[in-house]
Amino acid sequence: MSPVNNITASNGASSANTATASGATAFQVDSPYVHYAEGSIESDYLYDTTIVSRDIDSGKLTAKPTKVHYQFKTRTKVGRVGLMLIGWGGNNGSTITASIIANKKSISWETRKGTQEPNYYGSVMLASTTKLGVDENLRDVYVPFNEIVPMVHPNDIVIGGWDINSLSIGDAMRRAEVLPVDLQRKVYDELNQLKPLPSVYYPDFIAANQEERANNTIGGTKQEQLEHLRKDIREFKQANDLDRVIVMWTANTERYADILAGVNDTADNLLQAIATGHEEVSPSTLFAVASILEGAPFVNGSPQNTLVPGVIDLAERERSFVGGDDFKSGQTKIKSVLAEFLVNAGIKPLAITSYNHLGNNDGRNLSAPAQFRSKEISKSSVVDDMVSANNILYKKGEHPDHTIVIKYVPSVGDSKRALDEYVSEIFMGGLNTISLYNTCEDSLLASPLIIDLFMMTELMTRVTYRVKSDADAQEPEWQPFHSVLSILSYMLKAPVVPPGTPVVNALAKQRMAMENIMRAFVGLPPNNEMLLEHRAFH
């Protein structure tokens, strides 16, 4: 296993012994459509879908069941993987680093209720299960989510990254005041050896109240900064003998960047804008470009529009992966569940009002109007697809009133308080009001999402596919999935999807998609709740 706590301040050099994951899974599929080759799993998969056409004159719909023949190839060797966090010294970065060390070394700590053991609760991949099938007695059989296909484990990764503040990760952990003091004490010495690399700081993009933290920054032009970041990624990969590196933005929320023709609308224009130092190229976009050019998948965990059209164009051209936006941890996750429930129950949400206050540095940064606007946008679109799916409840142009308020209250620290009110129209013009009050530890909800995003992104670097047709004169070429990883949507508030692809926010649909796509990689049919083996007459 490769240590996570072995990064030096200046160059990311590692003293770890080289090791690779075996890629073993908890089960094997017995099917003529699945082949276990040396180093890979190959599956033939018939994807069932329904194509709907509408008669122009009568408006009558015709539904035609259709099968598409996919073949998937998943490399089983995970290898050595690194995670570079932008904003490594923030609450999320320091919390996830300390927590992985505690899990890797089985470090327990004392609380008022007794001894607490480390865990990965809150991670879908590591703390949830999925139905594999039924046994001979028709009883459900479940396996851990991360054992459907071979996946990297966080205990085996190397962590590094950047921050505009020079505090060691140990001191950053203490500053964050997220983890219990006894745990902080036990991991502090290791974390205190970890120093973030200098980062990119443009005062125009984050709140003015962050200026006092910015003592660890990269100078020069934007082009020089881009080359500096690319060099950081290369050196981190080489120094730690890594097979691949994944880069993730977990730093402060930026303001939205203006989308300008000739500036950030195409890959070439964006690269030229960086070369000329255009003011609308944000730090997060610069990191995304650096990652793409180095072949390192990039995930944006904050709400700003990092993945401008030029970034997506560049990712497609370079066949590199990007994903975003904004970690979906608490209030928005509940909203995507409750809104789906109400609309699918034939109940019409009229107004959704969300208020929350928090006292960590994220809340402080969001107290500035431009940064709050980025968060407001990412949280407000979460019900759009559910509303558009029901033209009985919502006529064209109708939408629930949706109000979002965020306030900075320093005394509550990382403990975020959220109040939501849902006012819905029910039978015969009646009204139903649901009020929720939620207190959560913000970084302890967000940090497991970093793990899940990392694990899913890494998996997608090892998967290729091709579509077969009887008309093919020769075998089509294997190719990676689309550069925009919409499969990450479950973990993100405002999922970025490939151009022309519908956005899905409903949480159950997002999880089902992730689960069933992974099942397809090993030739298993999608899970469903038909339960014909129980409902049919025996």
The full set of domain ranges for the chain reads 81-327+444-521, 331-441
Confidence of residue 385 (pLDDT cuts 50, 70, 90): confident
Catalytic residue among 186, 328, 335, 493: 493
- Catalytic residue list contains 416: yes
Bridge-based pairing of strands 298-300 and 322-324 is parallel
Query: Of residues 375, 414, 420, 442, which has the active-site annotation?
Result: 375
What's residue 377's pLDDT?
67
Concerning whether 335 is annotated as a catalytic residue, the answer is no
Domain range 81-327+444-521, CATH class: alpha beta
Using alpha carbons only, how large is the chain's radius of gyration in Å? Answer: 24
- C-alpha dist (Å) from residue 163 to 71, 84, 166, 283, 367: 42, 11, 7, 12, 21
Q: Is the pLDDT of residue 43 over 80?
A: yes
Percent of the chain with pLDDT over 90: 71
pTM score, whole prediction = 0.90
In CATH, what is the architecture of 331-441? 2-Layer Sandwich (3.30)
Question: Which of these is catalytic: 325, 328, 416, 420?
Answer: 416
CA dihedral of residues 352, 358, 361, 363 (deg, nearest 10): 30
Please identify which of the residues 326, 414, 420, 452 carries the catalytic annotation.
326
Contacts of residue 216, defined as CB under 8 A and 6 or more positions apart, other chains included, come to: 163, 164, 165, 166, 196, 198, 199
pLDDT given for residue 15 in this prediction = 32
Q: Say what the pLDDT of residue 473 is.
A: 72
Our answer to whether residue 375 is catalytic in this structure is yes
Per-residue pLDDT of 3-15, as tens digits, reads 343 433 333 433 3
Amino acid at 362: D
Given a cut of 70, whether residue 274 has pLDDT beyond it is yes
Range of weakest confidence among 92-101, 260-269, 279-288, 331-340: 331-340
Asked if residue 24 has pLDDT above 80, the reply is no
Give the C-alpha separation, 421 to 425, whole Å.
Answer: 13
Residue 398, CB-side half-sphere exposure with 13 Å CA sphere: 15
pLDDT of the residue at 45: 95
Tokens 């009646």 found at? 430
Which residue from 329, 355, 348 is spatially nearest to 419, judged by alpha carbons? 355
Average pLDDT for residues 22-35, to the nearest whole number? 80
Mean pLDDT to the nearest integer, 187-207: 95
| The predicted structure's pLDDT at residue 384 | 84
Going by pLDDT thresholds of 50, 70 and 90, the confidence category of residue 431 is very high
